[in-house]
Amino acid sequence: MSDPTNPISSLSRRQFTRGGIATALAAGVAPSFHQAMAQGGGKKLGLAIVGLGGYATGNIAPEVASCEHVTLAGVVTGNPDTKGKEWAAQYGFPADAIYTYDTVDKIAADDRIDMVHIALPNSMHAEFAIKCARAGKHVMVEKPMAISSEECEAMIAAAKEAGVLLGMNYRLHWEPHHVKAIELVAKGVIGDIACGNYEFSWGYAGALMGPNKDKIKKWLLDPKMAGGGALFDTGVYPIQAACYLTGKEPVSVRGFASKVHPELFPDGVEETMSFEMLFDDGFQALCRASYSQSYHQCTTLGNKGAIEIRGGLREDGRPGNVFTQSNGTPNPKLLFHNRREIKARQTLQQATLLDAFATTIKKGDKTFKTPGEMGLRDIRIAEKVYESAAKGGMSVEVQAL
């Protein structure tokens, strides 16, 4: 029975049907056109960040100042009198633009806020994305989109019903090295692509055993909040890379989960997930997400060579990361075609993403480059990887949206 107090369960079952999602994909998520026209081309759109944890503090907020079309106009936090007021003083928005999780619905009447960025633990994405969409605000969501495909579908339905855009923070669709890699593969410079190796792993296990273990976010160890383990945390990046570099989606997957430190990771939180994605043309993507070590790889192979993206060196001499960004400064990347470096610009990925989202809203476009449907696709793939791992690595089909 539907629970009217639950923003997910109160949506119609009809909205969850495959036909409804296919229709949403075909039509796109309809933005509020009268609002977009009123905003005009020159006005910066007001952004409220929902959740002021490490990612919001270290990645989103430092780059908003560099945006051409976005300004930080408010926040939603569980600590309005401390963290909220500190943010207001630091970023120059008024105290009455500080909202709590209990008062988030009131942003509906705040014309200073046009869009929100959901930067909460995974299990809270759906609830607050739906609330903000119903408040008439365009919604950007962190990865993973939610902890289940059903929640993703509810988010898409809510955004469509409210007439707002729902976007995923898949920044690399604008990052010049990744964009150039997509172009080179599409042009056939490495011939017929055969396979790819994609990995985003980081040393969470070591951090949990290190001297600063009390400062490490622990909600990743709660399967109800995280939705899973390393696959849900960083595995979306290998999934994304394989899909945007080939321009296709997998037809089947195989997954293999393991733990080197079972004392650290409870049931439902895998330490490592290695997985294979097979595409209809025979392309094979070998992927891994792990908490055991820090390693990043993005290599696409064909009969005429390879396209590889690597992390460059940061200003402080530390190595960059193939997939991530930094605190207000570019996280340097390098692009190679058969070991020959191809130069591309280093950018502020978060600022570029938010400007692209704001520009789409201003233009009144019906679709965004990385829509909620793309987030749903990736969660469905991840769910099939988990299903395969539970079946001992048996191949599991992935059905297209």
Q: Where are the domains of the chain?
A: 13-171+353-370, 175-346+382-397
Fold classification of 13-171+353-370 (topology level):
Rossmann fold (3.40.50)
Return the ∠ at Cα 44 (arms to 40 and 45), rounded to 5°: 90
Q: Which of 298, 308, 248, 237 has the alpha carbon at shortest distance from 278?
A: 248
CA distances from 55 to 98, 308, 327 (A): 18, 27, 9
Q: Which of 125, 53, 47, 126 has the alpha carbon at shortest distance from 91?
A: 47
Q: Which of 329, 238, 226 has the alpha carbon at shortest distance from 285?
A: 238
Q: Cβ contacts of residue 102 below 8 Å, gap of 6+? A: none
pLDDT for the residue numbered 31: 36
pLDDT for the residue numbered 41: 55
Question: What span, in angstroms and rounded, lies between the C-alpha atoms of 44 and 285?
Answer: 40
pLDDT for the residue numbered 101: 98
pLDDT for the residue numbered 327: 73
SS3 at position 80: helix
Does residue 137 contact residue 164 with C-beta atoms inside 8 Å?
yes
Q: Which of 275, 213, 204, 276 has the alpha carbon at shortest distance from 233?
A: 204
pLDDT for the residue numbered 215: 84
pLDDT for the residue numbered 22: 33
Structure token digits, residue 340: 């020959």
pLDDT for the residue numbered 23: 34
Does residue 136 contact residue 46 with C-beta atoms inside 8 Å?
no
pLDDT for the residue numbered 12: 35
Taking only the tens of pLDDT, the chain with its 401 residues reads 333 334 443 343 233 333 333 333 333 333 333 344 344 456 999 999 999 999 999 999 999 999 999 999 999 999 999 999 999 999 999 999 999 999 999 999 999 999 999 999 999 999 999 999 999 999 999 999 999 999 999 999 999 999 999 999 999 999 999 999 999 999 999 999 999 999 999 999 999 999 988 888 899 999 999 999 999 999 999 999 999 999 999 999 999 999 999 999 999 999 999 999 999 999 999 999 999 999 999 999 999 999 999 999 887 888 888 998 877 788 899 999 999 999 999 999 999 999 999 999 999 998 999 999 999 999 999 999 999 999 999 999 998 87
Instruction: Map tokens 């040393």 to a residue.
Output: 203
pLDDT for the residue numbered 220: 97
The 10 Å CB-count burial string (b at 16+, else e) for 45-63 is: bbbbbbbbeebbeebbbbb
Q: Fill in the DSSP letter of residue 43.
A: S
Q: Which of 160, 124, 158 has the alpha carbon at shortest distance from 141?
A: 124
pTM attached to this predicted model: 0.89
Does residue 45 contact residue 196 with C-beta atoms inside 8 Å?
no
Fold classification of 175-346+382-397 (topology level):
Dihydrodipicolinate Reductase; domain 2 (3.30.360)
